Amino acid sequence: MTSLDHKAEASAASAGLAASMVGEGVAADALSALLARRSAWPLAEPGPTDAALARILDAAACAPDHAGLRPWQFQLVRGAARHELLRQVLAQPQAQVPEVRELHGKYTAKLTTAPVVIVLAARIVPHPKAPEFEQLLTCGAAVMNMLNAAHLLGYAGFWSSTPEPLDGLLRSVMGFAPQDHMLGLLNLGTPVNPPSRQPRPVRATYAREWPPSAHSI
């Protein structure tokens, strides 16, 4: 091997190390950003752009999906459509009983506060290798991916539940299938208030090494 060969080899090794360090730096920056994610409420304009929404929805499809069933089913509601959805929900006969009328204000906040509201459902189908709980977990992972993607794109999210009778009202108005399990609402937009400073749980409270040893995670 000539001296030029040695120099070329050394240069290539140096370039590889530099690229590796850059890659590690990018990964560290991305992880730091991800660890800063916080749920936020209320959310205001601006909401995600069409391009940002497309990427957020694409992130859902990165969820682990054992049997390739893609059980997540989402419907996006934006702009004036949010108020139309609310109008139709509140016009349902089930929404007229006194105990539900008391919830109309809460339903208004849930469906019209954030610029983008994604109504979430899991379409469960019988499968020999993917029981119902796995399909529900897959949908949860898809929603978490969307929350993380929204955060990395500069927006915030808030995942809220839709307890009955709101579950049934949304199912009826929006045409979800009978086998769909309603999973709540994913609200997306810009935080009105500073992010929460509530401390995260210490990892030792939820993770441990087996068999037990002096080594700590």
Query: Whose structure tokens read 């307890």?
Result: 163
Are 72 and 60 in contact, with CB atoms under 8 Å apart? yes
Residue of 141, 134, 136 whose CA lies nearest to 122: 136
DSSP annotation string for 136-147: HHHHHHHHHHHH
Determine whether the annotation assigns residue 159 to a binding site: yes
Determine whether the annotation assigns residue 161 to a binding site: yes
- CA–CA gap between residue 189 and residue 192 (Å, rounded): 9
Determine whether the annotation assigns residue 38 to a binding site: yes
Terminal-residue alpha carbon distance, the chain: 46
Determine whether the annotation assigns residue 39 to a binding site: yes
| Residues 97, 98, 99, 105, CA torsion sign | positive
Write out the two tokens for 132: 């119902």
Determine whether the annotation assigns residue 160 to a binding site: yes
Residue positions forming the annotated binding site: 37-39, 66, 159-161
Residue positions forming the annotated binding site for FMN: 37-39, 66, 159-161
